[in-house]
Homo-oligomer: A and B are copies of this chain.
Amino acid sequence: MAKLCVQLDDIHAAAGRIAKHAHRTPVLRCASIDRILGAELYFKCENFQKVGAFKFRGACNAVACLSKEELKRGVATHSSGNHAAALELAAKLSGSSAHIVMPSNASAVKKAAVEGYGAKITYCEPTLEARESTLAQILEDEGRTLIHPYNDSRIIAGQGTAALELLEEVEDLDVLMAPVGGGGLLSGTSIAVSEALPSAKVIGAEPLNADDACRSMEAGEIQPSHDPQTIADGLLTSLGDLTFSIIRERCSGIVTASEESIIEAMRLVWERMKIIIEPSAAVPVAALLEKRGDIPGNRVGVIISGGNVDLDRLPWVE
Contact = CB atoms under 8 A, between A and B. Distances in A.
Contact of A275 (B271, B276, B312, B317): B276
Interface in A264-318: 267, 270-271, 273-277, 307, 311-312, 314, 316-317
Contacts of A311: 267, 270-271, 314, 316-317
A244 interface: no
Contacts of A150: none
A52 interface: yes
Contact of A276 (B26, B52, B270, B316): B270
A26 B275 CA distance: 13
A42 interface: no
A274 B54 CA distance: 14
A267 B311 CA distance: 8
A48 interface: yes
Interface residues of A, number: 19
B52 A274 contact: yes
Contact of A274 (B267, B275, B312, B317): B275
A159 interface: no
A47 interface: yes
25 contacts: A26-B26, A28-B48, A47-B274, A48-B273, A48-B274, A52-B274, A267-B311, A270-B276, A270-B311, A271-B311, A274-B275, A274-B276, A274-B277, A274-B307, A275-B275, A275-B276, A276-B276, A311-B314, A311-B316, A311-B317, A312-B316, A312-B317, A314-B314, A314-B317, A317-B317
